[in-house]
Amino acid sequence: MDKIRSHIMVCGGTGCVSSHSEELISALKAALVTAGYDQEISVIKTGCFGFCGQGPIVKIHPDNVFYVQVTPNDAEEIVKEHIVKGRTVHRLLFEEPEMKGKLESHDDMTFYKKQYRIALRNCGLINPENIDEYIAFRGYEALGKVLTEMTPEDVFYMIKESGLRGRGGGGFPTGLKWELTSKSEGTEKYIICNADEGDPGAFMDRSILEGDPHSVLEAMVIGGYATGAHQGIIYIRAEYPLAIKRLKIAMDQARDYGLIGKDIFGSGFDFDIIIRLGAGAFVCGEETALIHSVEGLRGEPTKKPPFPSESGYKGKPTTVNNVETFANICPIILNGSPWFKNIGTETSKGTKVFALAGNVNNVGLVEVPMGTTLREIIFDIGGGIQDGKGFKAVQTGGPSGGVITTLDLDTPIDYESLKNIGSMMGSGGMIVMNDTTCMVNIAKFYLEFTQDESCGKCTSCRIGTKRMFEILTKITNGDGTMDDLEHLDALARMIKDTALCGLGQTAPNPVLSTMNYFHDEYLEHVNDKYCRAGTCKALSKYSIIADKCIGCTACARVCPVKCIEGKAKEVHVIDQSKCISCGACFDACKFDAVLKP
């Protein structure tokens, strides 16, 4: 049946189509017919290759040759040379800017090296419910090595050397955390995996637990050995039923093999893991709050010190690490800390997983080395902004972070650089916003979240975030004054300085950063009672452009409050005092005559 021996794959993504990939496909097909090869070679249109700046892109399968900027005029040459004579068309190969060399295979290109998967190494590659497949990809080898060849000191020293920092947001050096717990007095110690991924718009931890649960279990045992803990606890959101199910299966399989339990690898080291369910409270991502929740209490944070490494779960020394942090441990043990240190920037080593979402074409999980720029992530990997709209801002760090604008798109990202531009790494949510997003409304959205999630323990967070939310609501309703802006700014700074835990201290960030970068939008809302994005209903009124209106009456017929006046074939007018800004007229008009506020 194997008549077709080769496939010419042409990118059919939006970017490539706009640079004439459709015509290229026709030209290739025609050239194949002329050459008499149309029965054995087929032309296939594919999804986006994510290399849109070089489009249209052509890949010959299975030769793995990769051509860029191919025009319909090149079709004949590709067929005559590559297909018929088997010679690569060098002219069309991609030239690596730094190496000045032409590259044939797409695997060699630095572009495709932009994503480097350490934490996600097995996701989508193995069956998460089969421990043997994990073992096939060097699973549990790191644990074996640790238990048979290394002392606990060797382990935390190695992690310290690697420069790995906490991936949950704070960026505390993981090796140091382990060392501190290890050196705390007491024989009863605990290690907790924080899988309470509460940042709205972040789902990297869930993906790791669902796709590669053993990588977390194995690292927990290693962490237990390094810190002197014999009990591991996974604290996971009840909202992640599939991840819980797969974790349970993985734990049973690991127990059957003796990889958790008593006398692991014959080393005399005992370690077991239990699961504790969260119940929906964002503040439980904070480690002291999390520990209280694990104890079955209200998840309220307590003052540090004492740090959990001295007094945590049940008052015993406890280490809390995030899922993604754990997922990095085994590769470091297997490949050594120099390998890991080689990736990333001066202060931030390794890679970071981001959940790229919002108004971007290729929504998905990406794992890039630290130091990659936001532009590369959003425009190269993410394929740019949806529906051809303009980029406005990107929010990192979720409700604790801030917005980043075009000004800083080329900043290489790491823990420090993000902080310097008013945001933070956070757990890795990355929400892209286009130019129809109102920044005041976004700030309000985040404050609504934090005031709702505030545990209520300290006054500045409990009352402060609520007041900020009220002021923002007032502004988006068109009742804001210049005084409000001042109060908002003062309140934000005060909460930042006085709140008890990370949640409160970072809650004002979305407001401060939007006020900093989009001050004019705040002013417009307050002074002109105008929302340029048209999202604040109270401030947005529709109008009709007289020149474009042909008087078809379509808008007047759909208006639910009958506020559009005008006779057939005459210009229509919207009575703005009655308009409820539903947008029905805008949708109904076929002549682009309705102006959206």
Partner 1 sequence: MTKPESQSKTYSAGVLPKDKYDKLDQYISTLEDKEGSLIHILHKAQEIFTFLPQEVQLHIARHLDIPAAKVFGVTTFYSYFTSTPVGKHTISLCMGTACFVRGAEKIAHELKDKLNITSGGTTEDNLFTLKEVRCIGACGLAPIIMIDDKVFGRVKVENIDSILKEFKEEV
Partner 2 sequence: MGIKSLDDLKKIREDSLKKVNLRETGKDGENITEIMVGMATCGIAAGARVTLAALLDEISKNNLENIRIIQVGCLGYCHSEPIVQINQPGKEPLLYGNVDDKKARDIINKHILKNELLDDSIIINTFQKA
End-to-end CA distance of the chain, in Å? 60
Of 355 and 501, nearer to partner 2 (C-beta) is: 355
Task: Report what 44 binds from partner 1, partner 2, none; CB cut-off 5-8 Å by kind.
Answer: partner 2
Which H or E run contains 526?
Answer: none
Q: What is the dihedral of CA 175, 178, 180, 184, to 10 degrees?
A: -160
Interface with partner 2 includes 553 (CB under 8 A)? no
Which H or E run contains 291?
Answer: helix 287-294
Task: Report what 568 binds from partner 1, partner 2, none; CB cut-off 5-8 Å by kind.
Answer: none
Q: How far apart are CA 387 and CA 404, in angstroms?
A: 21
Phi–psi pair at 178, nearest 5 degrees? -65, -40
SS (H, E, C) 299-357: CCCCCCCCCCCCCCHHHCCEEEEEHHHHHHHHHHHHHCHHHHHCCECCCCECEEEEEEE
What DSSP state is assigned to residue 385?
B
- Using alpha carbons, select from 209, 238, 198 the residue that is nearest to residue 429: 198
Interface with partner 1 includes 282 (CB under 8 A)? yes
Report the nearest approach of partner 1 to the CB of residue 189 (Å).
17
Contact 234, 458 (CB under 8 A): no
Could you tell me which stretch among 204-212, 408-416, 482-490, 550-558 binds partner 2 (CB under 8 A)? 204-212
Strand partners, 93: 67
Report the nearest approach of partner 1 to the CB of residue 415 (Å).
21
Give residues 383-412 in contact with partner 1 (rule: CB under 8 A).
Answer: 395, 398
Interface with partner 1 includes 426 (CB under 8 A)? no
What DSSP state is assigned to residue 66?
E
Out of 18, 26, 39, 61, the only residue in the binding site for partner 2 (CB under 8 A) is 61
Of 261 and 583, nearer to partner 2 (C-beta) is: 261
Q: How far apart are CA 321 and CA 216, in angstroms?
A: 10
Q: Which two tokens stand for residue 99?
A: 């190496």
Strand partners, 433: 393
Burial 157-191 (b: 16+ CB within 10 A, else e): bbbbbbbbbbbbbbbebbbebbbbbbebeeeebbb
Of 292 and 541, nearer to partner 1 (C-beta) is: 292
Pattern 376-405, partner 2, x by CB under 8 A: -----x------------------------
Report the nearest approach of partner 2 to the CB of residue 446 (Å).
22
Cβ count within 10 A of residue 107? 10
Q: How far apart are CA 579 and CA 365, in angstroms?
A: 42
| Number of residues in contact with partner 2 under rule CB under 8 A | 76
Task: Report what 454 binds from partner 1, partner 2, none; CB cut-off 5-8 Å by kind.
Answer: partner 1
Interface with partner 1 includes 311 (CB under 8 A)? no
Report the nearest approach of partner 2 to the CB of residue 493 (Å).
37
Give residues 356-375 in contact with partner 2 (rule: CB under 8 A).
Answer: 357, 361-367
Pattern 349-388, partner 1, x by CB under 8 A: ------x-xxx---xx------------------------
Interface with partner 2 includes 50 (CB under 8 A)? yes
Contact 170, 250 (CB under 8 A): no
Could you tell me which stretch among 136-144, 403-411, 431-439, 464-472 binds partner 2 (CB under 8 A)? 136-144
Out of 39, 64, 73, 459, the only residue in the binding site for partner 2 (CB under 8 A) is 64
Q: Please tell me the number of Cα atoms within 13 Å of 428 on its side-chain side.
A: 28
Of 265 and 530, nearer to partner 2 (C-beta) is: 265
Could you tell me which stretch among 47-55, 390-398, 406-414, 587-595 binds partner 2 (CB under 8 A)? 47-55
Could you tell me which stretch among 140-148, 292-300, 468-476, 549-557 binds partner 1 (CB under 8 A)? 292-300
Interface with partner 1 includes 280 (CB under 8 A)? yes
Interface with partner 2 includes 141 (CB under 8 A)? yes
Based on the number of CB atoms within 10 Å of its own CB, is 130 exposed (0-12), middle (13-18) or buried (19 or more)? middle
Give residues 448-487 in contact with partner 1 (rule: CB under 8 A).
Answer: 449, 451-456
Which H or E run contains 136?
Answer: helix 131-136
Q: How far apart are CA 351 and CA 345, in angstroms?
A: 10
Could you tell me which stretch among 48-56, 306-314, 437-445, 452-460 binds partner 2 (CB under 8 A)? 48-56
Q: How far apart are CA 56 and CA 157, in angstroms?
A: 49
Interface with partner 2 includes 259 (CB under 8 A)? yes
Of 344 and 358, nearer to partner 1 (C-beta) is: 358
Could you tell me which stretch among 82-90, 173-181, 429-437, 470-478 binds partner 1 (CB under 8 A)? 429-437
Task: Report what 449 binds from partner 2, partner 1, none; CB cut-off 5-8 Å by kind.
Answer: partner 1
Out of 20, 29, 117, 419, the only residue in the binding site for partner 2 (CB under 8 A) is 117
Interface with partner 2 includes 115 (CB under 8 A)? yes
Binding footprint of partner 1 on the chain (CB under 8 A): 197-203, 206, 238-240, 276-283, 293-299, 355, 357-359, 363-364, 395, 398, 429, 431, 433, 437, 442, 445-446, 449, 451-456
